[in-house]
Amino acid sequence: MSTSFSIIAILYQARWYIASALFASYLAQNFRVYRRLSHVKGPWLAQFSDAWLLGVIYRQRAHHEFYSVKKKFGNLARIGPNTLITCDIDQVTRMNAPRSPYVRSDWYLGFRLAPGIDNVFSMRDEKAHAKRRAQMNLGYTGKENINFEPQIDIHVLNFIDLIQRKYISTYPEMKVMDLAQKAQYFTIDVITDLATGAPFGDLATDSDQHDYLRTTMEAQPAFVMIGSVPSVNKFIQIPFIGKRLFPTAEDEIGMGKMIGIAQEKVAERFDPMRRLKIEKPDILQSFINHNLTQEETVSESLLLILGGSDTTASVIRATMLCILTSPQAYCTLQAEIDAATLSSPVVRDEEARKLVYLQAVILEGLRMHPPTGGLLSKVTPPEGDTINGVFVPGGVNIATNTWALMRSENVFGPDVDCFRPERWLNVSEAKYADMARVVDMTFGSGRFKCLGRTIAWIELNKIFVELLRNFDWAVVDPTNPWKSANLGIIVHREFYVRVTKRVVQE
């Protein structure tokens, strides 16, 4: 018998010992991981395995389940062998603060839009991230003489026009409109316009151009699951493998089509002949002027589209649902809009900022329904940290429980689960500022704060005014108003409404 055969025979005879040894080492390893954080309580299965977290993500209701975890286990709880979740305002502020020793976790890797290529949201190296943010901050905030308003106004008007053309119900004729879909048509048109200067035109055509929304929605659940398992995530980032899984510019529809458009629009800017013709400052040009390479500019313009459409659409839908199901808020807001002297056909951002009740409605909408439902986890520094009086060793993922954070009773009062814009009225300046600071954390905070916040606020300031000054609204089935799913961002579909033309009483 040859040597190799005899080794195989020995291994075969010892197979049960080997299997037992491997299993014992697996248990010992898990026990070690379990022990490290055994002093932090959480759901039983989460102490030993990521299966609990994967189950939560799979059910697409993570924000509700994390809120239940907070109610049961307190502000700091364990949701995975190496993952804790917090809704402590000071802890979240501290993790995200400039010069904090916390870094972004592997979770952010899932936001690479092409294998191996980072964007500002997926970057985990803090030096590189800070540099990229600095290169893009002026473009995003409009501080380089970029005026977002006229571009956004065009799409607000397209939205109004679409409703007037196709969706005004007059009894007995009912023309049901899916507000979930139209809100996203609006935000995608705004953001593709800002990102590439070539709006998709979803509102004008009343259709999902390039099947972008359908295909990204279909792909998102798988990406969210993969993003939550760092080892799988790292595997698909290997270019050879990722190339077969990620969309590419050659695709005719969906994200791939978007990549193609972004590449083309960015290439035009890098073409020395065409470069001279860019007269109007815009975000893309600002990125380029701050030395982003062609590949980086494509990557960032895609992130702009991905980060800027679902989020704002989610807030528009949720706030509209809150308004339509709260008669007092609906009437008070419409009365405030009617009584104010506002520009026409689209309210100006600075005018909307002065509408006290509108601001209360938007802040309350963001509070009730923060759109980001993902972990946003940061990693404790190597020396560990003490959180809420509990020592947490280094290298542990600390996720943010945004839904619970927005329901902090010590900040907002005992009725946190209720949409009540009045909580923002007749309070001291200090109280208002305190509540507003926490709601602003829906946009993240510190060195990771959302770069698109200015743009989102302009959209929000305009859209509710124009939807309520031009139309009256009713939810078609208030007992089952929409279907919602947490896909990292909380998305909705089938939000059917009945829209009628407004008859304003003088």
- Binding region for ligand HEM (CB under 6 A): 96, 120-121, 133, 191, 303-304, 307-308, 311-312, 315, 371-372, 376, 442-444, 448, 450-452, 455-456
Q: How would you class 48 by CB atoms within 10 Å of its CB: exposed for 0-12, middle for 13-18, buried for 19 or more?
A: middle
Q: How far is the CB of 107 from ligand HEM (least distance, A)?
A: 9
Q: What type of residue sits at position 330?
A: Y
435-440 contact pairs (CB < 8 A, 24+):
435/363, 435/411, 436/363, 438/89, 438/367, 438/405, 438/406, 438/408, 438/411, 438/412, 439/363, 439/366, 439/367, 439/406
Q: Which is nearer to ligand HEM, 56 or 303 (CB)?
A: 303
Q: Which is nearer to ligand HEM, 136 or 499 (CB)?
A: 136
Sheet strands side by side (includes 76-80): 76-80, 83-86, 397-400, 378-379, 103-104
Instruction: For residue 87, say whether it is annotated as part of any ligand binding site.
Output: no
- Residue closest to 442 by CA, chosen among 89, 71, 79: 89
Q: How far is the CB of 226 from ligand HEM (least distance, A)?
A: 19
* Cβ contact 259:302 at 8 Å: yes
Q: Which is nearer to ligand HEM, 151 or 237 (CB)?
A: 151
Q: How far is the CB of 191 from ligand HEM (least distance, A)?
A: 6
The DSSP call for residue 398 is: E
Which tokens is 133 given?
């943010």
Give dist(CA 145, CA 134) in Å, integer. 17
Q: Nearest-CB residue to ligand HEM? A: 452
Q: Which is nearer to ligand HEM, 95 or 163 (CB)?
A: 95
The DSSP call for residue 497 is: E
Residue 496: which H helix or E strand, with range? Answer: strand 496-501
| C-alpha torsion 35→41→46→49, nearest 10 | 0
The DSSP call for residue 117 is: B
- Residue closest to 369 by CA, chosen among 466, 255, 495: 495
Q: How far is the CB of 380 from ligand HEM (least distance, A)?
A: 15
Q: How far is the CB of 317 from ligand HEM (least distance, A)?
A: 11
Q: How far is the CB of 98 from ligand HEM (least distance, A)?
A: 12
- Residue closest to 492 by CA, chosen among 296, 311, 237: 311
Give dist(CA 117, CA 497) in Å, integer. 41
Q: Which is nearer to ligand HEM, 121 or 473 (CB)?
A: 121
Q: What are phi and psi of 270, to 5 degrees?
A: -90, -10
Q: Which is nearer to ligand HEM, 169 or 314 (CB)?
A: 314
Give dist(CA 459, CA 362) in Å, integer. 11
Q: How far is the CB of 338 from ligand HEM (least distance, A)?
A: 26
Give dist(CA 504, CA 419) in Å, integer. 26
In the block, tokens 């802040």 appear at 363
Q: How far is the CB of 404 from ligand HEM (least distance, A)?
A: 14
Q: Which SS3 state, helix, strand or coil, does residue 414 take?
A: coil
Q: How far is the CB of 405 from ligand HEM (least distance, A)?
A: 11
Q: Which is nearer to ligand HEM, 15 or 99 (CB)?
A: 99
Give dist(CA 434, CA 312) in Å, integer. 23
Q: Which is nearer to ligand HEM, 320 or 450 (CB)?
A: 450
Q: Cβ neighbours of residue 259 under 8 Å, at least 6 residues apart? A: 113, 114, 247, 248, 249, 251, 298, 302
Q: Which is nearer to ligand HEM, 64 or 133 (CB)?
A: 133
Q: Which is nearer to ligand HEM, 237 or 309 (CB)?
A: 309
Strand segments, DSSP code E, in 430-482 are 471-475
Q: How far is the CB of 134 from ligand HEM (least distance, A)?
A: 10
> Which residues are documented as binding site for heme?
450
> Which residues are documented as binding site?
450
